Amino acid sequence: MTPETMKLVEELLKGESVSLSRAISLVENESSQVPEIMKRIAPHVGKAYCIGVTGPPGTGKSTLVDKLTALLRKQGSKVGIIAVDPTSPFTGGAVLGDRIRMQQHYLDDGVFIRSMATRGGTGGLPQTASAVIKLLDAAGKDVILVETVGVGQSEVDIMQKTDTVLVTLCPESGDAIQTMKAGLLEIADIFVVNKADHPGADSFVRDIQAMLHLREPSWWNIPVVVTEAVNDVGIEELYEQIKLHRQALCETDQLSQRRQLQRKFDFIRTVEQKLTHKLLKAIEKDGQLSSYIDRIERGEVDPYSAADEILRSRKLLTDWLSQ
């Protein structure tokens, strides 16, 4: 590790925002310094509590995060926010819509906001989200709020990276069963029906509660909290449910189990990412590997058979992994 990187880590651990921003940029750009940075901060992570906010677009996730942040700051908590925006088709960066909605916190030293682009992530979060959460944790944030991009019904990555998952819906989401048919029901720790002043809110809440009653009993009964985030209504009630969920996680040892799974998924994703990069690099340089691509493109061999041949070839695997 270079002296500059060591100084960066030291400043990050002291909570300095500029160094934290630089470290996040290194992670997003997949710098060669990242493995050493993550190794150095590893003993300092695990103290922050991480809350995920997900749900379909237009349900008020950003406003909800904004109001929760204000409440947390009144209680003296240092807050980190990861706001995942759509990827710009021109720059590849985040569109920054969420940061515009959180302008009231810009001058607050106790709040750190980072917009991130999905960059090909299909589960509502970029692949680098886990590392950024760790950096915010090491920098001394008490609570980390992670808002997904709002891709619809496939935002399951959030449950693998956070401690409490809020699924935000609103009456305009349409039929409750349609809204949750593809996984949101399974990942929610708390349902938030936002924009509750809109028509149909009461029946929408009843539909969700009816579905929850069909679930098998478990250690946690999923609550449905009604909010009007834009009017600051229901935010304190929501935070009370978050605290109750955290308490239940600790009392049942679920928190440690969740974090064990988070570390497991993080490891698997990291290995997958590194192997993918090695494979792409090997295909560019290795004639035998690139020949498989040519044969597949010509239809001379199917992808499954080609993959089996490569995995059975010890020499090919050794050459590939050594690159």
Closest CA to 320 of 285, 268, 294, 295: 285
CATH of domain 45-252: 3.40.50.300
Tell me what pLDDT residue 91 has: 43
Residues near 227 by Cβ (< 8 Å), separated by ≥ 6?
64, 192, 193, 194, 196, 233, 234, 235, 237, 238
CB atoms within 10 A of CB 277: 12
Predicted pLDDT of residue 89:
42
Over residues 107-159, the pLDDT tens digits come to 788 999 998 876 554 445 777 889 999 999 999 999 999 998 765 545 567 88
Question: What was the pLDDT predicted at 103?
Answer: 62
CB 161 within 8 A of CB 128: no
What's the CA angle centered on 85, arms 79 and 88, to 5 degrees? 140
Instruction: Specify burial of residue 169 (Cβ count, 10 A radius: 0-12, 13-18, 19+).
Output: buried
**Residue length, the chain?**
323
Which residue stretches of the chain have pLDDT < 50? Answer: 88-95, 97, 121-123, 153
pLDDT (tens digit per residue) in 65-110: 999 999 999 999 999 999 987 654 444 444 454 555 566 676 788 9
State whether the Cα torsion 224-225-226-229 is positive or negative. negative
137: tokens are: 């944790």
